[in-house]
Amino acid sequence: MDFLNAIILLLNYLFVPALSYGSQLALGAIFVSLIYGILRFAYFTAGDLMSFGTMFTILFTWYFQSLGINLGFLPTALIAIPFGIIVTIFYVLLKDKLVFSYYRTKKSPPVMLAMVSIGTMFVTQAIVRIIIGPFDRRFFDGEKFIIRANEFKEMTGLNEGLAIKSTQVITLFVTIIVVSILFWFLNKTKTGKSMRAYSDNEDLALLSGIDPKKVVMTTWVIAAILATVGGALYGLDKSFKPFTYFNNMLPIFAAAIVGGIGNPFGAFLGGYVIAFSEILLTYAYKKFFVYLLPESLEPDGLLQLLSTDYKFAVSFSILVVVLLFRPSGIFKGKVL
């Protein structure tokens, strides 16, 4: 019984939160990685693009709520996401046309493009803050929990409760759907294959008649979709605050690099690596061992490897270690 309690404890405080946080990071990391692979620069607007998409999702959610449209026990935001995606696609394509295409045709060095993306980062931040403001916003409605902690306790008779929020399940489902469509697209369709070819060897791809404009456009569209979905899921699960999204850029980059930048599948796994290590290393294991060990061996301290203050620092340290020993990432991306 104690053993089961210990397992449930870990599931509740470690596994489930890490899984949903990891999915949200993974969505961001995939598009950062794609942009890096195909457009060949570090896209510093990543976090703010996510907040841009989320902002429009929230605006549409409010609009639908005012019309009285809802999905019952599911959050209204789910119908708003496609509209948010459309606006975000327009925004990134416009940005590409006005800003990035100039440097691409000039074949500027990647550093230049990264700096330009800092410029668009500032602009996007300004747009988001001017339209919706810098404050914390919650836009979740519908049923909050799938299983409540005390319901679970009653059902199983265990001491430990397992609470599963509906947003966590939605996050997981949506991520699985989006990511499997994406990988099907990249691996099976002609456009996806041409994108991979372009990423592998630009000159050869151009020689074999691949249209670079189409490849670039598809990349931006995918980026906008992933950014909006990832951002909206994060906002549903936690809350929407532009500055938090901006800061999330760091773990997203960490995930993309750990997974091997330029390799979308690596980035996908990288998201989970970062999320799990952040939570595993800062969790206090005291209660877990209280269940498992006999009373005489009960631990005194919290048995926390690192205090939660260092949550962010954990993922960055992992990144530094990976950079030191495997500069191309765990799952071999482009060798840099």
Instruction: By CB under 8 A, tell whether 313 contacts another protein.
Output: yes
Tell me how far, at minimum, the Cβ of 93 lies from another protein, in Å: 17
Instruction: By CB under 8 A, tell whether 327 contacts another protein.
Output: yes
The structure tokens listed for 144 are 């909050």
Distance CA 229, CA 224 (A): 8
| 73 or 122: CB nearest another protein | 122
CB atoms within 10 A of CB 248: 21
Instruction: By CB under 8 A, tell whether 129 contacts another protein.
Output: yes
Distance CA 270, CA 274 (A): 6
Are 262 and 33 in contact by the 8 Å Cβ rule? The answer is yes
Tell me how far, at minimum, the Cβ of 41 lies from another protein, in Å: 7
* Binding positions for another protein, 228-247, rule CB under 8 A: 246-247
Distance CA 93, CA 221 (A): 8
- Near another protein by CB under 8 A: residue from 86, 87, 114, 292: 114
Instruction: By CB under 8 A, tell whether 119 contacts another protein.
Output: yes
CB atoms within 10 A of CB 162: 21
Instruction: By CB under 8 A, tell whether 166 contacts another protein.
Output: no
Site stretch for another protein (CB under 8 A), options 125-133, 160-168, 182-190, 200-208: 125-133
Distance CA 335, CA 144 (A): 44
Dihedrals phi, psi of 145, to nearest 5 degrees = -115, 150
Instruction: By CB under 8 A, tell whether 115 contacts another protein.
Output: yes
Instruction: By CB under 8 A, tell whether 82 contacts another protein.
Output: no
Tell me how far, at minimum, the Cβ of 65 lies from another protein, in Å: 20
325 sits in which H/E element: helix 311-325
Site stretch for another protein (CB under 8 A), options 18-26, 119-127, 161-169, 270-278: 119-127
Distance CA 261, CA 276 (A): 19
Q: Taking each helix axis from N to C terminus, what angle separates 46-67 and 212-237, rounded to the nearest 10 degrees?
A: 60
- Near another protein by CB under 8 A: residue from 69, 94, 123, 177: 123
Q: Running DSSP on this structure, what letter comes out for residue 297?
A: G
Tell me how far, at minimum, the Cβ of 335 lies from another protein, in Å: 10
- Near another protein by CB under 8 A: residue from 71, 73, 307, 326: 307
Could you give the C-alpha distances from 305 to 40, 276, 308, in angstroms and in order?
38, 14, 9
Which spans of this chain sit near another protein (rule: CB under 8 A)? 41-42, 44, 99, 102, 109-112, 114-116, 118-127, 129-130, 133-134, 246-247, 249-250, 253-254, 257, 261, 307, 309-310, 312-313, 316-317, 319-320, 323-324, 327, 336
